[in-house]
Structure 1
Amino acid sequence: MSDASVRTARTDDLPAVGEVQAQVWRRALADVVEPETLQAFEAAEFEQAWRSSLAAPPSPVHRLLVATELDTIVGFVAVGPVMRDGAHEGEAEILAGGVHPDHRGKGHGSRLLNAAMDTLAANDRSYVRVRIMERDTPLVRFLATAGFVVSGGYADRIVTSAGDTVREIELHTDSSAPLEEQAHDHEH
């Protein structure tokens, strides 16, 4: 048995998934949001949201995957089809994910991303998008290395009561198209 792997989440994994998500969000937003907002990132709240999602997934394609190190949940990724008007049949998105800050640099992120892409491909989803904070340059570089390109789409999210914003950028990849074609089609 391997020391590190990725598998589909089970209900008994959800407290650990909630804890990982709380730690990931606290680290990512520590210098952006107000202290009371950081305190609201509680593992139990995230756990409850995942519990509801697993009990009634929005579609058969939606999946929550977890990365494990020995018997410890160290990361997660949630994927699903794009569910908005005008979306094409083969479109999907990475909805949320992350690796606990104490377990980064060990390949968990790559394993999670590969498993997510394989899961989506098995469901005939080749065009995958994700929105991330533009300021998270390590994550932007990681996704670029994995074949994602910046699409040009973005959203400025208000993150404080004073109206401060964080820009989220959209990246995508299309496993049905050569990488060179993807980059060429979306350069601005």
Structure 2
Amino acid sequence: MVAADVSVRVGWPADAPGIAGVQLRSWQQRYDGRLAARLEAQGIGMDDLAEAWRGTLARPPQARQRALVALVHDRVVGFALTGPNADPDADPSADGEIGEFTVDPDQTRAGHGSRLLQACVDTLVADRFTRAVCWVDAADDVVRAFLTSAGWGPDGASRELADEDGTAVKQVRLHTALA
């Protein structure tokens, strides 16, 4: 039996098109194509997203902000962002955050999310955070159940994000202690 070539590593600028593709496919599934259609109407396409990612990966905003990519061979199948928690009630020296956690909708239930989550935790611990949070869409039962099964739990915080059209997404905050 041959083992699959799967891994997680820090993202490189060359990963930008793969991350943008995963992000776009995820948005299409998560938001029933509404967000992708809105981006298209604004003239923002795959190349624009990839270019934005290329810049972010080449010059992270802070030293402790990281983009991690889950790979099958050299193909990006998921990505996550880690860094200091910027919530008003956070201690930025102790509280880290997984700011984005996305696995390609066509690649779920293959272990990529578990590897990516473990890499996020390892990265946050290496960056000397002692607690981590992750905001999750309140209606996303799958991601919430996945994180809960990994030891994360709600801390009672919630928020509502709205776009310029007034479409709102309610989110809940999950947290965990980092060993």
Instruction: Name the TM-score, length of structure 2 as normaliser.
Output: 0.87
For residues 10 and 164 of structure 1, what CA distance do their matches in structure 2 show?
A: 33
- Structure 1 residue 175: Cα displacement: 1.9
> In the alignment, residue 17 of structure 1 is paired with which amino acid?
I
Partner of 1:112: 116
Partner of 2:23: 21
What does residue range 1-188 of structure 1 map to in structure 2 within 5 Å? 3-30=5-32, 33=34, 36-37=37-38, 39=40, 42-83=45-86, 87-88=90-91, 89-159=93-163, 161=165, 163-176=166-179
Partners of 2:160 and 2:170 within 8 A in 1: yes
For residues 118 and 141 of structure 2, what CA distance do their matches in structure 1 show?
A: 20
For residues 68 and 36 of structure 2, what CA distance do their matches in structure 1 show?
A: 30
Task: Specify every segment of 5 or more residues in structure 1 that has no aligned partner in the other structure, as ranges.
Answer: 177-188
SS state at 1:92 partner: strand
SS state at 2:117 partner: helix
Q: Which has the larger displacement, 61-70 or 37-46?
A: 37-46
Moved over 6 A (4+): none
> In the alignment, residue 38 of structure 2 is paired with which amino acid?
T
| Structure 1 vs Structure 2 CA RMSD | 2.2
1:21-78 CA distance string (max 9 Å, x none): 11111111117x4673264673323322222222322221111111111221111111
> In the alignment, residue 113 of structure 1 is paired with which amino acid?
L
Partners of 2:13 and 2:55 within 8 A in 1: no
Question: % of aligned pairs identical?
Answer: 33
Task: Specify every segment of 5 or more residues in structure 2 that has no aligned partner in the other structure, as ranges.
Answer: none
| Cα distance, 1:129–1:36 mapped onto 2, change above 3 Å | same
The count of aligned residue pairs is: 174
SS state at 2:123 partner: helix
Partners of 2:28 and 2:35 within 8 A in 1: no
> In the alignment, residue 73 of structure 1 is paired with which amino acid?
V
Q: Which has the larger displacement, 132-141 or 40-49?
A: 40-49
Instruction: Name the TM-score, length of structure 1 as normaliser.
Output: 0.83
Partners of 2:69 and 2:79 within 8 A in 1: yes
